[in-house]
Amino acid sequence: MKPLLFILTVLLTIPLMAQEDKPIEVPQIVVKIGLNKTVDIDGLAITFLEVLEDSRCPKNVDCAWAGQAKVLVRIIGTNGDTVEETITFKNGAAVLASLFNKELHFLRLSPYPDANISKEDSAPYALLTRVVSQ
C-alpha cells in the first residue's frame, strides 16, 4: 500500500512542477466611436467627424490595389486645446498619433467593405480607438 501511495504522490506532483511562470498581460481597452459621436477617453474628447475616403478593396473581390480609408477626427485635450487630424488606414494597419502627452492608437475603421453587402445594408461606420498614457 505504501508503494502505491508513493507512486500516486509522485504522479500528482509532476503537473505542479511543469507550470511555467508567465507574466500576465494586462487587457487593453478598445473604444468604438460611432460616426458623429464623441467619446471621452483618459481625459481626451475624441469625435469621429467624417469618412473622407473609403477605397478599401471589398471582401470577395480581387483588386490590383488594396485601397485605403481616411477619416477626420477632432481631439480636445484636458486643457481645452483642439486638434483635427486626418487618419489614413492603409493595408489595415493601425495608425498611431501622439497628442496631449497621450499615445492614440486608431486600430480599425469598420465595417470593412463587402461586395456581397450593399452600402445601405451594411452597419454604420465606427472607429476603434485606444489611448495609452505616456
pTM of the model: 0.74
Q: Which of 27-31, 61-65, 66-70, 73-77 is least confident?
A: 27-31
pLDDT of residue 99: 81
Mean pLDDT for the stretch of residues 52-74: 90
Mean pLDDT for the stretch of residues 100-123: 86
The 3-class secondary structure across 46-110, one letter per residue, is: EEEEEEEEECCCCECCCCCCCCEEEEEEEEECCCCCEEEEEEEEECCCCEEEEECCEEEEEEEEE
The answer to whether 86 touches 71, Cβ cutoff 8 Å, is yes
pLDDT of 67-110, one tens digit each? 899 999 999 988 889 999 999 998 777 788 788 888 888 999 99
Mean pLDDT estimate for the chain: 84
Domains (ranges, CATH) in the chain? 24-133 (2.60.98)
